[in-house]
Structure 1
Amino acid sequence: MTSRSVPEYRVTLPKELVADLARQAAGLPEWRLGNDGELSPETVARYHGVLAGLPRLAEFTTTCHQLLGAPDGEGFAVFELAALLDAADSEEAGLRAVTALLSLIATPRRAFDHWPLWKPLGTNLANTPMHIDAVNPKLPPDYIAQLCVRPDPRGQGHSVVSQVRRAVDRLGYADAELLTHPRYVDGSFFELTGVGDERQPFPILDGLPPSEGFVRFTAKMLADTDPADPYIKAARALERELITGKRRFLLGRGDLLIANQHLCCHGREALGGGQEDVPEDERRLLLQVFLRGQARHTATPEVMA
């Protein structure tokens, strides 16, 4: 959808599509959530009705599915939407337009009951290691989307994404086999809706095909563990492969990162120093939303004890 020489995962919307989206943004309804935390079917239907017939919209959805869904692809994309945010009448209208676009890919939702649909991500200085979000319920979100409202004024906080299925393929048999055992634990489980029951402990490799299963990895679960434990050593081996295969990039204003959690882990490097000198309303701000695909995961295979 772009003729510029840019990385293949970066996509710029055609100008005519941006102009029409901006004009329609004011007429998009505010979102309503159902009891399961998903954008209500009525809201989705109204979004699709407003967007129907916009020029080159089918090209947008085709590009999304090609970049996000191909099993041998990277599993993520960055859409450059600054022009859309600038053209919209207000920040709220711009965010509704982004939400409407996402609803063409999958259904926007929240996972944690106390979160808004779009959750502001923190601005702590530390890096966020490789992970998938909501790693320990039966049904983690199918996609995560992060919209950069303000980049780090210190020029840091690079996003990182790694194709986790390729990382698994590079592991030795012994390590990969250990990852199929339900020996891993991460955090507590409460106030979650629409993600199924808790799996605790859980295997990192669930035995399902990529279209259905997840590689349930988060580097946080390796903190304060015994480095000599063979299960921890196997997880560390996977972490090393994720780091080896990572893609690293900065998100600019209006950049929308979408990652398929069936195929990717993601994280973020540390923000630049001197954040205490940056006014709060000028610090980096990302908004995150989860997405649920049309297919629901209804079965979980038996795992080794």
Structure 2
Amino acid sequence: MPTPPLPEYRLSLAPEFVAELVKSTTILPEWELKDGLLAPEIAQRYRRTLSGLPSVSVIAATCEWLLNAPDGEGFVVLELGGLLDAVDTQADYLRAITAMLSLIARPLRAFDRWPLWKPLDTNLSLDPMPATGSGYGPMHIDVVNSTWPPDYSALLCVHPAPKGQGHSLVSQVRRAVDRLSYGDTDLLSHPKYEGGAFHELSGVGREWTPFPVIDGRSPLGGFVRFTAKMLADAAPDDPYAKAARALERELIGGQRRFPLKRGDLLIVNQHLCCHGREDLSDDQEDKPEDERRLLLQIFLRRGEALS
């Protein structure tokens, strides 16, 4: 029986590419950061090292198209399990993936108190964000209340949920906005929304609170600043909350749902997509640490800062 084709958003790496990428880990330098971003000279060395690998230009062009086509889905899943199996240490693995991401944009730390790759697991003591626990992670973009949210959010699955739960959710937010009424769209363009704390951040501009959900910029220049957290304490009859709930319904109605396997790297264009996560099993926090679902998150920045 022939192997079924991968979904259009999944990209599998050829064994020859993986083998050469593994070899390159011995010459890839450790990352250095400047204002939260990967230092330009390190990014250049990463790109220069990978430029000679087989099919690298095809991989980069495919990611560019899947992530940035205005009428596309705005996300891609790279299947990197073979790379994880082939390298000696997680440090080598993360350095190789950071180099690959440098072909798309410059890696960004954003949260000063965390390393470049930020752990998201089910132990709430590791992370103040409720979405990292075992419950449902509602639709959102990351760093929603800044003037310049990260252009891309990338999530690497190190350990999948043992019971196969916690499917990732991605929804094309521009299409969701297009399905709204004129009245809801107008309300969402007013600076009436708030998205939580803002501190110890770099490379994301200034705090913007309250902010509009729809900032009026072009699809690849602006953002639809949505997070379900901004609805938590809203009055049921608040017209601005009603408009945001209408957007949330459209996001849920148009969402894509899929599991992340070990080694899968989900990259989401935050100008085009919101993302979230389904419930995990309730016993996640009782499991040994090496059996829990564990994702590592990194952000990416391209282009110049928005005004």
Q: 2: CA distance between counterparts of 1:211 and 1:125?
A: 33
Alignment of 1:77-116 (within 5 A): 77-116=76-115
Aligned residue in 1 for 2:267: 258
Where 1:121 maps in the other structure, the secondary structure is: strand
Q: 2: CA distance between counterparts of 1:203 and 1:230?
A: 14
Aligned residue in 2 for 1:68: 67
Asked if structure 1 preserves the Cα contact closer than 8 Å seen for 2:156 and 2:266, the reply is yes
Where 1:195 maps in the other structure, the secondary structure is: coil
1:20 partner letter: E
Aligned residue in 1 for 2:125: none
Deviations 1:223-282 (A, max 9, x none): 011010000000000000000000001100000000000000000111123224421221
Q: 2: CA distance between counterparts of 1:254 and 1:4?
A: 20
Deviations 1:30-58 (A, max 9, x none): 11111x10001121122122212111000
Aligned residue in 2 for 1:199: 208
Matched, 1:175 2:174: no
C-alpha spacing 1:276/1:51, structure 2 compared with 1 (3 Å): closer
2:25 partner letter: A
Aligned with residue 156 of structure 2, among 120, 129, 147: 147
Aligned with residue 247 of structure 2, among 238, 242, 263: 238
Instruction: Give 1:286 deviation, angstroms.
Output: 0.3
Where 1:235 maps in the other structure, the secondary structure is: helix
2:256 partner letter: R
Alignment of 1:8-23 (within 5 A): 8-23=8-23
Deviations 1:115-140 (A, max 9, x none): 11000013111111000000011000
Superposition RMSD on alpha carbons, in Å?
Answer: 1.1
Instruction: Give 1:189 deviation, angstroms.
Output: 1.3
Aligned residue in 1 for 2:119: 120
Instruction: Give 1:60 deviation, angstroms.
Output: 0.5
Aligned residue in 2 for 1:302: none
Asked if structure 2 preserves the Cα contact closer than 8 Å seen for 1:155 and 1:272, the reply is no
Asked if structure 1 preserves the Cα contact closer than 8 Å seen for 2:284 and 2:293, the reply is no
Where 1:272 maps in the other structure, the secondary structure is: coil
Q: 1: CA distance between counterparts of 2:283 and 2:206?
A: 42
Q: 2: CA distance between counterparts of 1:66 and 1:45?
A: 22
Asked if structure 2 preserves the Cα contact closer than 8 Å seen for 1:154 and 1:273, the reply is no
Deviations 1:15-74 (A, max 9, x none): 11111001111221111111x100011211221222121110000000001100000000
Q: 1: CA distance between counterparts of 2:292 and 2:118?
A: 16
1:106 partner letter: A
Length, aligned pairs only: 295
Which structure 2 residue ranges, 5 or more long, are not aligned? Answer: 123-132
Aligned residue in 1 for 2:31: 31
Which structure 1 residue ranges, 5 or more long, are not aligned? Answer: 300-305
Aligned residue in 1 for 2:128: none
Where 1:289 maps in the other structure, the secondary structure is: strand
1:167 partner letter: A
Where 1:49 maps in the other structure, the secondary structure is: helix
Asked if structure 2 preserves the Cα contact closer than 8 Å seen for 1:212 and 1:297, the reply is no
Aligned residue in 1 for 2:304: 296
2:306 partner letter: T
Q: 1: CA distance between counterparts of 2:257 and 2:181?
A: 25
Where 2:38 maps in the other structure, the secondary structure is: coil
Q: 2: CA distance between counterparts of 1:52 and 1:244?
A: 40
Deviations 1:74-102 (A, max 9, x none): 00010100001111122211111100000
Asked if structure 1 preserves the Cα contact closer than 8 Å seen for 2:147 and 2:306, the reply is no
1:110 partner letter: R
Where 2:158 maps in the other structure, the secondary structure is: strand
Aligned residue in 2 for 1:129: 138
